[in-house]
Structure 1
């Protein structure tokens, strides 16, 4: 169901830019709030076990449905896909609220499995909006706006967590905090009534968005198979696997176990503010017209390696001071020691965006065909979710955070061997293989976090 209004208001609702804005707000209030709770560590709980197993379920489900997300969205259409994919995020937050009262981990884990489905469907829908709704001259600007809106979700959620828990001594988020997140998710779902069918959307030049035709499951599966077996995608697969591998340690092992609840909220704000800066820096770097394609990739890789090595040496040094058999320090932002280690989490926010944007930039270098970009995006989501499944399984198994950190940085650095090889195969020229630069910019700006 969508609103049908007459006159100027009705024309505005059918405007492509307005539809992109509405979808950005919907994702901010639904998926964005879910990611914010995850970033706080342990789903905001004092006991991380349920949230860790839930995140394992999220990634396992996302890895499976990532193979079919493109076909599902093509079959359902973007509007219905947005509604269906948004519900699990509100349900997940509700399960955490229930967990604070009845300690039912099964509800949290089941909700996590639904979130995995919702994540890949919502992000595939967002990709469809990004590829088809804007005019050729405004795709990059539209995606840049979306990415800033998405990063703002963490800033807003961090401010909520910090404000509502500022005077609290407990280790977990309070019930009112979860209620606020649920209300925001419901508001996001309510906004889906403003979405209109794709064929009813008009661009600024008065052209209409083409209706998405479902070619059939056989054609969808064959296209997906070609994307997975593409030799350049296979070479980059180890790198794609590690793009979210570091999340369990960063959010649970570091942010969750070493800081007070209000400090975790503050860390989330700084993390996402750093992500906004990173999106601007990498967007400029990876599309720098005076540099060759190979040089852009090499410089991006070098920056990531330097930031990773420096931040992880600092993180492991901090973690090693607090063995698991000793009480956690629960550093608070009122203490000087908090500000001494604060830069580490800020750098991780910068790295998080850089890892994902570089992966999408590679896809943009591999092809500029819209259908191939869509299928390679699905393949990337699947590889990323597989890595996340392994990493969250290690976390759920209760591996000592010190050794979990070593495993994580080792896996990430091995993934960079794959990235280096992929970059070395890029053309040593100032142009991509295709002259269609609009889709390349889409690959640069589109960032997905399962």
Structure 2
């Protein structure tokens, strides 16, 4: 009798377990035809990519011109300082705002700052005394950027099934990076016959129109709550912790995994070099035609560099620890290579007291020796991509837990934005070109040196169970 009761209890338990499983993972029928194509997760992630193509992508293209395309880079430097200062602060709370408003609404709000920022440069071209407006627009953009990237992360990781995440991330990042390439191409086409040293109104108007399209795209996207994945499961968008939970989680990451402190200089330097590369090397040395061509090739190099480094770090036939050392060695050599080469150009550059009456002759695409200089700028783009890919890969090697990785990524973005804010402000207050160059070189090398013991002590061939949770 007792045996019979136990058997029935076991059957009831199995039955209820199956019912619970079905209740947890219901399968929905996906729409077909044109509606099915439009509501397909891959299509929606591609649309998300085009939002970032039109907004952050074009922001990158504008910055890559040096000085935002202006003759005097001071206003642009102050604006970028404002962007990254507010970004570093407000990105911390953006996840909670995303939870309250929903990812689509948060994404929409996040796009407005980019349109305002581009429009402020058009206003500056028309009204030369509108520099304060550009700086204010930069501060607003920092808030918008925090919202946009919080929503982007939620949507990009929620739509694919487990075995599609790499593919979907690849789709997004490819489209996003092409935004800077296309933006740079537009600028090159509009300024190719220009003899001036700043871009015309047509460039800013073209960027403003494209950014306006980016603002409109979230309105056309499917409500995430109605999305069905390719396996028939309903999308549950990821939820971000409240600011109190975020603070506590951050504390746990730093307490339980203190080796991340060795990555702090690498994180802090990860956008520092943009100031010297964009505003000094490209912005000061070249005329607008050459700056536009340099910028175009810089962002193409970014795509190439990310593909190459991703391929090297993803060779599963090689032990993960070996890949970590190989990646470190490639990056270390590359940083020395581009800065030794750059030194021979930087040693002759002096910040002018009066930019409008500076005797320095701008380099054009017809100037002898231009080919070597644009090749160096191409390598700048490749090394930038290699640096960012390596930083993310090292974080991924420390854990597979999404919550822990979210905190690590938050630390990365906050330190990255803080470093950029300091560097852009240093340029705005007139720190010498040589000081900006030396600080860039020292920070990058110092960051790399501290990464080496972190690899030795922390990166393993397989992630241990104790690394999976906070």
**TM above 0.5, one fold?**
yes
Q: Paired residue for 2:441?
A: 409
Matched, 1:122 2:153: no
What is the 5 A alignment of 1:26-425?
A: 26-103=51-128, 104-213=130-239, 216-229=242-255, 230-325=257-352, 327-425=359-457
For the Cα contact (< 8 Å) 1:331–1:337, is it kept in 2?
no
Which region of structure 1 is more displaced relative to structure 2, 68-77 or 139-148?
68-77
Tell me, in whole angstroms, the C-alpha distance in 1 between the residues paired with 2:459 and 2:253. Answer: 20
Larger radius of gyration: 2
Tell me, in whole angstroms, the C-alpha distance in 2 between the residues paired with 1:173 and 1:217. Answer: 42
Deviation per CA, 1:376-409, whole angstroms, max 9, x where unpaired?
Answer: 2112100111111221121111112122111211
Tell me, in whole angstroms, the C-alpha distance in 2 between the residues paired with 1:219 and 1:435. Answer: 21
For the Cα contact (< 8 Å) 1:227–1:379, is it kept in 2?
no
Question: Unpaired segments of 5 or more residues in structure 1?
Answer: 1-5, 438-450
> Could you tell me how far 1:216 is from its partner in structure 2?
4.1
Tell me, in whole angstroms, the C-alpha distance in 1 between the residues paired with 2:319 and 2:465. Answer: 14
Tell me, in whole angstroms, the C-alpha distance in 1 between the residues paired with 2:360 and 2:58. Answer: 27
Question: Unpaired segments of 5 or more residues in structure 2?
Answer: 1-30, 353-357
Q: Paired residue for 1:440?
A: none
> Could you tell me how far 1:30 is from its partner in structure 2?
0.9
For the Cα contact (< 8 Å) 1:130–1:142, is it kept in 2?
yes
- The one of 426, 432, 436 equivalent to 2:463 is 432
Deviation per CA, 1:112-171, whole angstroms, max 9, x where unpaired?
Answer: 111112222222222222322111112111111222212211211111111101111111
> Could you tell me how far 1:330 is from its partner in structure 2?
1.5
For the Cα contact (< 8 Å) 2:106–2:148, is it kept in 1?
yes
Deviation per CA, 1:193-215, whole angstroms, max 9, x where unpaired?
Answer: 22222221111112111144465
TM-score, normalised relative to structure 1: 0.91
Tell me, in whole angstroms, the C-alpha distance in 2 between the residues paired with 1:146 and 1:316. Answer: 36
For the Cα contact (< 8 Å) 2:107–2:218, is it kept in 1?
yes
For the Cα contact (< 8 Å) 1:155–1:272, is it kept in 2?
yes
> Could you tell me how far 1:228 is from its partner in structure 2?
4.9
Which region of structure 1 is more displaced relative to structure 2, 163-172 or 11-20?
11-20
Change over 3 Å in CA distance of 1:318–1:67 after alignment to 2 = same
Q: CA RMSD in A?
A: 2.1
For the Cα contact (< 8 Å) 2:265–2:443, is it kept in 1?
no
> Could you tell me how far 1:436 is from its partner in structure 2?
12
For the Cα contact (< 8 Å) 2:398–2:459, is it kept in 1?
no
> Could you tell me how far 1:19 is from its partner in structure 2?
1.0
> Could you tell me how far 1:299 is from its partner in structure 2?
1.2
> Could you tell me how far 1:71 is from its partner in structure 2?
2.2
Change over 3 Å in CA distance of 1:304–1:131 after alignment to 2 = same
Q: Paired residue for 2:8?
A: none
Q: Paired residue for 1:23?
A: 48
> Could you tell me how far 1:48 is from its partner in structure 2?
0.8
Tell me, in whole angstroms, the C-alpha distance in 1 between the residues paired with 2:400 and 2:450. Answer: 22
Which region of structure 1 is more displaced relative to structure 2, 20-29 or 274-283?
274-283
Deviation per CA, 1:43-92, whole angstroms, max 9, x where unpaired?
Answer: 11111111100001011111111322322223322101110110000100
Change over 3 Å in CA distance of 1:435–1:78 after alignment to 2 = farther
Tell me, in whole angstroms, the C-alpha distance in 2 between the residues paired with 1:421 and 1:399. Answer: 33
Equivalenced residue count is 431
Tell me, in whole angstroms, the C-alpha distance in 2 between the residues paired with 1:18 and 1:224. Answer: 34
Change over 3 Å in CA distance of 1:434–1:283 after alignment to 2 = farther
Q: Paired residue for 1:445?
A: none
